[in-house]
C-alpha cells in the first residue's frame, strides 16, 4: 500500500470498481485481489467486485494501524504494497547468514507477490525451522505476546455510522449515470440515497413500496419540525426529497426494476401545509457594497500574499465568480480593457462545467483598482496568458524576482481555501463572518435595486452565470430580517402616502413585484423617495 494517506481519496457513500481502486491507489488488480484475501470486504460475491467507500477506508485504517506496531516473529512486512502478512512456514526461504549468526530469510507477499525479506537471530531461525519441520503455524511461535491475527475490513458499525451493502452494485451504475454532474452534486445525491437506505434498514431496492417512501417523507418533515439544534431546514428537506425523487425516476427505468410501482417518485411531493411548520432555512447574511468596500480598505497589503488576498476579495465582487472559479482564474480569462471576464468550464473548476462570458459589475472603483494593481504586479513578474491570476504561494516564491529566466509557470490554487481565507481576513473587524458566496448575494441584491427593467435584470442575471432569471430572484439577495423591520418602521412612521401607496412600497421592498408589473415603476419611485434616494430618469 502506498505511503500517502489513501483513505482521503475515498468517500464513504460511494461505490468503486476494481479498476477505479487501482487507478486511485496506483496498484494492480492482483494487489486488490490480495487485499480481499486479507480482509477487504467487497459489496457482494459477484465478480468483478465492487467496494463501498466505507469498507475501503476501514481497511486502509486497519492496515495503517498494523504498520505502526512491531512485527511478531512470524510476520513479514512488504515494502511494495505496505501490507503485513503471515506466510506458511514452508514458504520461508533461507538466503544467507551474517558473521553475527543472524539469518536473512525471504517470503512472497500474499497481496502483491513481491519478495519480502526479514533478518532473524539464531534463536528465531531455530523456531522457524521447527515450524517448517513439524508443519505448525508461525503464529504459534510467540503466542500470547500479541493480539491474535484477524482479518481487517469493515469498520466497526455504530449507531451513527451504519452502512448496507445489498444495493451497492446498483448504486455504482447510478454514479456512472450521474457522471455529467459535478462531484459535489453526486455526493449530495448519494447522501440522500444512503439516508433513505438507513431509514429502510437496508431494504433491497427491488422491494421498495409506496408506503416506505411515504414514511420516509413524513420522517423528513418530522425532523424539520423538531425544536432541537439537529432539526433540518426546509431547504434540506426539499433537496433530499428532490434528490431521492431523481434516483427513483432513474431506478424505474432499469432492467429488473420496471415492475415497481411507477408512482414512487410522486410520494416525495412535500405538502405545503406541513412544510409551513418546518424550521426555515438559515438566513443568508451578506454585506452591502459600501460595507464590502470598507472591508477591502481595511485588509492588510504589506506582503505579496496580503495583496493576493485583497485582489481575490475584490475580484469576487467585480465578477461574481464562485470560489472554485476564482481559484482557477487565468490571465487569458480577464480583459481589463473591455471589462470582460470568462468562466472557463474546461478547467474543471466551474460548477457543472459551465462556461460563460460576463462583464464586470458596476461596483465602486476601489474594487477594480485593487484587482488591476494585482494583475499589473503579476505581469511585472512575467505572468503570461496561461498563468494563474491567483497563483500558489510556492509559485510566487519561485518567481519572486522580475525578469528571471527561465521562469516557471504560475500554478493555480489547488482549491478554494485561499479564497475563503481572504473573506475571513476581510470579515475580521465585522460582526458577521462572511464567505465567498456572500459576494454573489450582495451583487444580486444590488441588481434588484439598480435594474429598472426586466431586460436589465436578465443581463445582470446572465453575468452571475444564471441562465434563468428565476434562480437569481429565488435564491439570491433575499431581504434580511433587520432590513425588513426597518422598512416596516418607515411605513409605520410616515403618514404622507395613501394606504395603497404604502402597500406598493412594502411589496417593492419585499421583492414581490415583477419589473413587468404595471405598478413596478411607481412602487420603485415611492420606495426611493422614502429612503431619500433620487429617482433615475
The residues, ordered by sequence, that sit 6+ positions from 291 with a Cβ below 8 Å of its Cβ are 430
Q: Cis omega before residue 85 (within 30°)?
A: no
- End-to-end CA distance of the chain, in Å? 70
- For the chain, list the domains and their CATH numbers: 6-140 (no CATH), 168-275 (1.10.150), 289-440 (1.10.443.10), 479-537 (no CATH)
% of the chain surpassing 70 pLDDT: 79
Q: What is the pLDDT of residue 121?
A: 87
Q: Could you report the per-residue pLDDT of 184-200, keeping only the tens digit for each?
A: 899 999 999 999 999 99
**Per-residue pLDDT at 57 exceeds 50:** yes
Q: What is the pLDDT of residue 432?
A: 87
Q: What is the pLDDT of residue 154?
A: 39
Q: Can you say whether the dihedral through the CA atoms of 362, 366, 369, 373 is positive or negative?
A: negative
Going across the sheet that includes 340-343, the strands are 334-335, 340-343, 356-359
**Per-residue pLDDT at 250 exceeds 90:** yes
Q: What is the pLDDT of residue 195?
A: 94
Q: Could you report the per-residue pLDDT of 373-418, keeping only the tens digit for each?
A: 999 999 888 888 899 999 998 888 876 665 555 467 888 888 889 9
The closest of 396, 393, 356, 375 to 314, measured between CA atoms, is 375
State the Cα–Cα distance between residues 323 and 301, nearest whole angstrom: 21
**Per-residue pLDDT at 74 exceeds 60:** yes
Bridge partners (DSSP) of residue 71 are none
Q: What is the pLDDT of residue 175?
A: 95
Mean pLDDT of 38-44: 90
Q: Are 212 and 196 in contact (CB under 8 A)?
A: no
**Per-residue pLDDT at 78 exceeds 50:** yes
What are the grid coordinates assigned to 126, written together?
Answer: 531455530
**Per-residue pLDDT at 537 exceeds 50:** no
**Per-residue pLDDT at 95 exceeds 70:** yes
Residue 149: which pLDDT band, with cuts at 50, 70 and 90?
very low
Residue 258: Cβ within 10 Å count: 10
DSSP H stretches of helix in 320-416:
323-327, 365-380, 393-398
Maximum CA pair distance of the chain?
A: 108
The closest of 153, 227, 150, 242 to 196, measured between CA atoms, is 242
Top-confidence residue, 467 or 194: 194
The residue ranges of DSSP E strands in 178-327, in sequence order, are: none
Could you give the dihedral angle defined by the CA atoms of residues 241, 245, 248 and 250, in that order, rounded to the nearest 10 degrees?
-140
Mean pLDDT of 302-310: 93
Q: What is the pLDDT of residue 274?
A: 60
The residue ranges of DSSP E strands in 48-189, in sequence order, are: 50-52, 76-77, 84-85, 93-97, 103-108, 115-120
Residue 494: which pLDDT band, with cuts at 50, 70 and 90?
low
Top-confidence residue, 404 or 256: 256
Radius of gyration of the chain (CA): 31
Top-confidence residue, 192 or 497: 192
State the Cα–Cα distance between residues 371 and 392, nearest whole angstrom: 17
Among left, alpha and beta (phi > 0; psi -120 to 50; other), residue 340 is beta
Mean pLDDT of 302-316: 94
- Please tell me the pTM assigned to this model: 0.60
Amino acid at each position: 500500500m502506498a505511503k500517502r494517506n489513501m483513505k482521503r481519496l475515498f468517500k464513504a457513500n460511494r461505490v468503486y470498481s476494481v479498476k477505479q481502486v487501482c487507478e486511485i491507489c496506483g496498484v494492480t488488480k492482483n494487489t486488490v485481489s490480495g487485499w480481499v484475501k486479507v480482509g477487504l470486504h467487497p459489496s457482494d460475491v459477484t465478480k468483478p467486485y465492487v467496494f463501498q467507500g466505507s469498507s475501503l477506508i476501514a481497511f486502509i485504517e486497519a492496515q495503517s494501524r498494523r504498520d505502526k506496531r512491531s512485527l511478531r516473529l512470524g510476520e513479514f512486512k512488504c515494502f511494495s504494497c505496505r501490507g503485513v502478512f503471515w506466510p506458511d512456514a514452508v514458504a520461508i526461504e533461507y538466503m544467507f547468514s551474517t558473521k553475527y549468526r543472524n539469518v536473512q530469510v525471504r517470503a512472497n507477499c500474499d497481496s502483491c507477490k513481491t519478495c519480502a525479506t526479514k533478518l532473524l537471530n539464531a534463536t528465531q531461525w531455530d523456531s522457524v525451522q521447527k515450524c517448517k519441520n513439524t508443519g505448525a503455524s508461525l503464529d504459534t511461535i510467540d503466542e500470547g505476546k500479541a493480539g491474535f491475527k484477524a482479518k481487517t475490513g469493515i469498520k466497526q458499525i455504530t449507531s451513527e455510522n451504519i452502512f448496507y451493502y445489498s444495493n451497492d452494485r446498483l448504486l455504482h451504475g447510478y454514479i456512472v449515470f450521474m457522471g455529467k454532474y459535478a462531484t459535489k452534486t453526486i455526493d449530495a445525491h448519494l447522501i440522500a440515497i444512503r439516508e433513505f437506505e438507513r431509514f429502510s434498514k437496508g431494504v433491497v431496492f427491488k422491494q421498495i413500496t409506496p408506503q416506505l417512501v411515504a414514511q420516509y417523507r413524513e420522517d423528513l418533515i418530522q425532523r424539520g419540525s423538531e425544536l432541537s439544534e439537529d432539526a433540518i431546514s426546509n431547504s434540506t428537506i426539499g433537496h433530499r426529497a428532490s434528490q431521492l425523487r431523481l434516483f427513483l425516476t432513474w431506478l424505474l427505468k432499469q432492467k429488473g426494476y420496471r415492475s415497481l410501482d411507477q408512482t414512487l417518485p410522486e410520494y416525495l411531493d412535500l405538502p405545503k401545509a406541513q412544510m409551513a411548520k418546518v424550521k426555515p432555512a438559515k438566513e443568508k447574511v451578506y454585506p452591502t457594497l459600501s460595507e464590502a468596500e470598507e472591508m477591502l480598505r481595511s485588509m492588510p497589503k504589506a506582503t505579496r500574499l496580503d495583496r493576493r488576498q485583497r485582489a481575490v476579495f475584490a475580484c469576487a465582487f467585480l465578477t461574481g465568480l464562485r470560489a472554485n472559479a476564482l481559484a482557477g482564474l487565468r490571465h487569458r480569462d480577464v480583459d481589463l480593457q473591455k471589462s470582460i471576464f470568462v468562466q472557463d468550464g474546461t478547467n474543471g473548476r466551474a460548477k457543472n462545467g459551465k462556461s460563460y462570458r460576463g462583464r464586470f459589475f458596476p461596483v465602486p472603483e476601489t474594487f477594480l483598482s485593487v484587482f488591476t494593481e494585482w494583475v499589473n504586479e503579476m505581469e511585472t513578474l512575467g505572468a503570461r496568458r496561461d498563468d494563474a491570476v491567483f497563483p500558489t504561494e510556492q509559485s510566487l516564491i519561485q518567481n519572486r524576482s522580475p525578469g528571471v529566466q527561465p521562469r516557471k509557470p504560475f500554478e493555480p490554487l489547488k482549491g478554494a481555501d485561499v479564497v475563503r481565507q481572504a473573506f475571513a481576513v476581510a470579515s475580521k473587524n465585522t460582526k458577521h463572518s462572511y464567505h465567498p458566496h456572500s459576494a454573489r448575494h450582495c451583487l444580486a441584491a444590488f441588481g434588484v435595486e439598480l435594474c429598472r427593467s426586466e431586460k436589465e435584470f436578465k443581463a445582470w442575471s446572465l453575468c452571475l452565470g444564471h441562465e434563468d432569471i428565476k434562480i437569481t430572484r429565488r435564491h439570491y439577495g433575499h431581504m434580511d430580517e433587520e432590513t425588513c423591520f426597518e422598512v416596516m418602521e418607515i411605513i409605520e412612521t410616515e403618514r404622507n402616502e395613501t394606504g395603497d401607496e404604502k402597500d406598493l412600497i412594502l411589496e417593492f421592498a419585499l421583492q414581490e413585484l415583477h419589473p413587468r408589473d404595471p405598478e413596478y415603476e411607481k412602487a420603485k419611485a415611492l420606495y426611493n423617495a422614502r429612503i431619500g434616494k433620487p429617482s433615475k430618469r
